[in-house]
Amino acid sequence: MNNEGVLFDLYDVILDRKINPIEGSYTNYLFEKGLDKILKKFGEESIEVIIAAKDSNPEEVTSEICDLMYHLLVLMAENNVTMEMVFSELSERRKKLGNKKAERKEIEKL
């Protein structure tokens, strides 16, 4: 299985848990708790990636990125965002290589 296939496979498993819950499944737990819990976990994992990266530990960074990607896929499933949608958008953005963005304004509100 290629690298992209692993992501599609994991996403399919997550979608299956959403449609066919399995008691005791962590994925099922996240869907039961809803968007706020999913967002909280995604935020926590994001911070853990940052901390691992600051510690310059490639194994820990890899582990935390995997956790983050899993929670991102759960967030995608919760919001009905498909892998095809994401890859299509990435493909379109890839065509804009070298397209420098303007200065961004500071975030005032979340």
The whole-number average pLDDT for the span 46-74 is 96
- Is the pLDDT reported for residue 103 higher than 60? yes
Give the CA angle between residues 95, 97, 101 to the nearest 5°.
115
d(CA 105, CA 109) in angstroms, rounded, equals 11
- Is the pLDDT reported for residue 99 higher than 90? no
Q: At the fourth CATH level, which superfamily is domain 3-88? A: MazG-like (1.10.287.1080)
| Region of poorest pLDDT, from 4-8, 82-86, 106-110 | 106-110
pLDDT of residue 82: 94
pLDDT of residue 47: 97
Specify the pTM. Answer: 0.83
DSSP 20: S
